[in-house]
Amino acid sequence: MSIGRSLHEVAVVTSLGLRTLPQRATPVLVATLGMLGVVAVFVAVLSVAEGFRATLAAAGAPELAMVMRAGSDTEMSSFLSGEDARLVANAPGVRRDDGGALSSAELFVVVDMPKKSTDTIANVPLRGVQPAAFRVHEKVHIISGRLFEPGRNELIVGEAASRQFAGLEIGNTITWSGNPWTVVGVFGADGSLAESELWCDLRVLQGLYHRGNSVQSVMVRLTSAELFPEFKDALTADPRLNVKVLRADAYYADQSQAINAVITGIGYFVVMLMGIGAVFGALNTMYSAVAARSREIAVLRALGFSASAIVVSVLTEALLIGAIGGLFGGWLAYVVFNGYQAATLNFQSFSQVVFTFSITPAIVKQGVACALVMGLIGGFFPALRAARLPVATALREP
């Protein structure tokens, strides 16, 4: 049989099957809605992982470098002296301007703040920074209010943190461990991790938390990203230092891996459970379609149409149901969840990260592919049954 004739047979049989869809509207709708629900949940869960990853990725830049104590995986476990921070600031490759080296020694602690949505207490990051921090972290800019004054118990809060946690309005006073802090400004950082944090003067935070002159990390902006190897080699070869030097974007990418793996694993587990139900729905729908079309299929076979054309037509209908369910499921997830903001715990820093659900074309494609697989599985066995229908028996059916 020629390829042209085979394609013609498939087109004819598929067209006849699609014309009967209105008579089978209810089971087809049930199967489509089942796949729509699976895809919507799947896409929504994956958008959580993507949003978290994007928030941390935005915190880095090719020319940003981060220095911590050797052997430290996170800022929480790092310790550097004031002298260490000075040596880092004077290392080759560090950008300088009229204000000096673009280097910020930083101290990171966790404070308790209630969530607006649940009124439960959450760990919120409080970061002590030097004045140069606002030249190192170029994305950080004041949206409302003003910067904190050095030497005073004043805070500026990230825009995302101000939306998620209670008590962070400008002019409000917050007390931690008996120390009052006044919120004086709100800052943005282009949706990056910094927006989940509260910032204050490094010297004040060191004194109130009895940290002496120690810090946990030093963030520097290099003259160019290509100078990172020179900068790293100079610090790691200095016998006065015992440090770990990382590109900031690599550090934040590593920070997102653990929670991304957990969320993605949950997403695939949920879609597997829900997918089983959707596949059974597709099976029932396609078996009903074959039963309803048994005389029609028998006539086509008697006229010389091949069994393979029957199989392809049934699978095509099942894939069409899957495609429609997948596309509408992706659309529904996008409308409901894309841009939704939430906060979750960063396992590495044990503090809250505020992020935005992000539904990308790649995630929608995964959802549609999942629906197509469910449709293919749901249509496979009914397609085989249709191809094996005894022509004489089917013709005698009422």
Spell out the residues 6+ positions from residue 86 whose beta carbon is closer than 8 angstroms to its own.
none
Please give the structure tokens belonging to residue 108.
């990171």
Query: Which residue from 109, 126, 139, 128 is spatially nearest to 221, judged by alpha carbons?
Result: 139
**pLDDT for the residue numbered 394:** 47
pLDDT per residue as tens digits for the range 298-349: 666 666 666 777 777 778 888 888 898 899 999 999 999 888 887 776 766 6
In the chain (398 residues long), the average pLDDT of successive 10-residue segments reads 60 67 73 86 87 78 90 87 92 90 92 86 90 90 93 93 91 89 93 89 91 92 92 92 90 77 79 78 71 64 68 80 90 90 70 83 91 84 71 52
pLDDT per residue as tens digits for the range 24-65: 677 778 788 888 888 898 898 888 888 888 887 777 788 999
Spell out the residues 6+ positions from residue 397 whose beta carbon is closer than 8 angstroms to its own.
294, 295
Count of C-beta atoms within a 10 Å radius of residue 224? 10
**pTM, entire model:** 0.78
How many CA atoms, within 13 angstroms, populate the side-chain half-sphere of residue 246? 22
Phi, psi dihedral angles at 393 (to 5 degrees): -65, -45
Spans of all domains in the chain:
3-57+255-396, 71-241
Spell out the residues 6+ positions from residue 282 whose beta carbon is closer than 8 angstroms to its own.
31, 34, 35, 318, 321, 322, 374, 375, 377, 378, 379
